[in-house]
Amino acid sequence: MKSISTWFFGSAAVFALCGMVWGIQMSATHDYLLSPAHGHLNLIGFVIMAVFGTYYALTPQAAQTSVAKFHYILVMVTVVMLVPGIVLAILERTAVVAQIGSILAVLSMAMFGVMILKHGVGDQRAS
């Protein structure tokens, strides 16, 4: 089985590619209406997931927990809800999906903070 860090990095790469293609499409059509959703895809989907992946690569005792696996699932659900939710809000269909995605984003960052407080940063077993 792949490490949780690999899952975070792999997903980050996929989201980055999607964000790049979306950015090219916006540029080609000169339609930047959905740029806030594009920005959140890049920020949470790529940057934040890569940061989390880096943390789990550096801190194996945290990466081996079931909480880390749940953290990955939570962040994936966050991106999958938040980005389309922002699109729906911009198009004035509904803001509820974006609101739920935002709450999940806060929860995933809080979970990251808890992991840092509990496991530290780096391989504490080697110290």
Tell me the per-residue pLDDT of 67-83, one tens digit each, with 9 for 90 and over: 999 999 999 999 999 99
Specify the number of domains making up the chain: 1
Mean pLDDT of the chain: 96
User: What's the confidence (pLDDT) of residue 127?
Assistant: 58
In a domain, 89, yes or no: yes
Q: Which domain holds residue 117?
A: 4-121
In a domain, 30, yes or no: yes
**Cα–Cα distances in Å, from 101 out to 36, 42, 85, 120?**
14, 15, 7, 27
Tell me the per-residue pLDDT of 16-61, one tens digit each, with 9 for 90 and over: 999 999 999 999 999 999 999 999 999 999 999 999 999 999 999 9
User: What's the confidence (pLDDT) of residue 2?
Assistant: 86
In a domain, 127, yes or no: no
User: What's the confidence (pLDDT) of residue 120?
Assistant: 95
Measured distance CA(48)–CA(61) in Å, rounded: 20
Q: From its phi and psi, is residue 94 left (phi > 0), alpha (psi between -120 and 50) or beta? A: beta
CA dihedral 64, 65, 67, 69 (to 10 degrees): 40
In a domain, 126, yes or no: no
SS3 41: helix
Of the chain, the percentage scoring pLDDT greater than 90 comes to: 94
